[in-house]
Amino acid sequence: MALAKQSTRGLYTATTTPMTSDGKLNLSAIGAQVDRQLRAGIAGIVAVGGTGEASALSVSERVDVVGATVEAVAGRVPVLAGVTTPGLPDTLALGRACLEAGAKGLMVITPYGTAPSQAGIRDYYKAVADGVGRAVMLYDIPYLTLVATKPETVSEIADDGSIFAMKASNPDQAAFTWLVELVGDKIAIMSGDEHLFAVQVALGAVGGVLASTNLLPKTWVQIFETARAGELALAQQQIARLHDFLVTVYAEPNPGPMKAAQALTGFDVGPVRLPNKAPDAALVSTMREQLTELLAYEKALAV
């Protein structure tokens, strides 16, 4: 069954892609990776997105990772495939292959590299949905693509049934507030920003697609439940405990620091591939110190 607004909520982890020490895919590690997330209460998995190093993987490797993730999840939660290619033909080909590999849905990034108009973005998502045969999750991340999808455009895309959800990774809170007003009853809005997560849930996001849930999934589930219960001040305090670490783990391009931090948690997913780089040794040392208390808190949390 395809994903829909009503069934999309909670925290989805944008997983890293495990690799061997020589940079080959380590598909056998995905089972343990997924189990760690689901035991913590994570509601879904997004494979081969930016955190999954999609741009460093071949098309066949991306599909292999999606297939291995689907197998590991075994129907327990939805698996979405990140589709971060900028052109329509490649997006359709990859999207269809990932769906055939078992993904329940696709998280499709806004087209980039050509500075598309809002009308172009609107028509692009209709072409994608029509081409793969189902609605998709719109992924808006203007600080990477240099293209922001206006809330009015999202509303038009939602009205024609091309999207069931949106990952909003835009720090413009005024735009987010208007987005909720326009489409909160039409699609599932998912926060894509750790620092703004609690506020965005309070405003109407029904969950999030985050990368740092790779490291502290139970902590983030607690934050989500707190914010969803209307205790925004407490949720903000819970995020404040993570602030310094979040600044550090994103101080260098993701997922280099994220993978290094995973190793510090006791789950080594291997190196990154070019153009990604391993983080500076001093940054790793700082993360080690910051994670000591955070991991102790994570371990003490009940599921």
Which residues are known catalytic residues?
Answer: 139, 167
In the numeric block, the tokens 């209307």 are attached to 230
β partners of residue 10: 207
CA atoms within 13 A on the CB side of 28: 2
Close Cβ partners of 281 (under 8 Å, ≥ 6 residues apart):
none
Say how far apart CA 47 and CA 80 lie, in whole Å.
6
Nearest to 216 by CA among 13, 1, 3: 13
Alpha carbon of 192 to those of 4, 67, 103, 137, 166: distances in Å? 18, 24, 20, 12, 9
Say how far apart CA 226 and CA 218 lie, in whole Å.
12
Q: Give me 163's structure tokens.
A: 């999207």
Quote the strand ranges of the chain, DSSP E: 10-14, 44-47, 79-83, 105-109, 136-140, 163-168, 188-191, 207-210
Close Cβ partners of 12 (under 8 Å, ≥ 6 residues apart):
42, 43, 44, 45, 46, 78, 80, 190, 207, 208, 209, 210
Nearest to 295 by CA among 223, 226, 219: 219
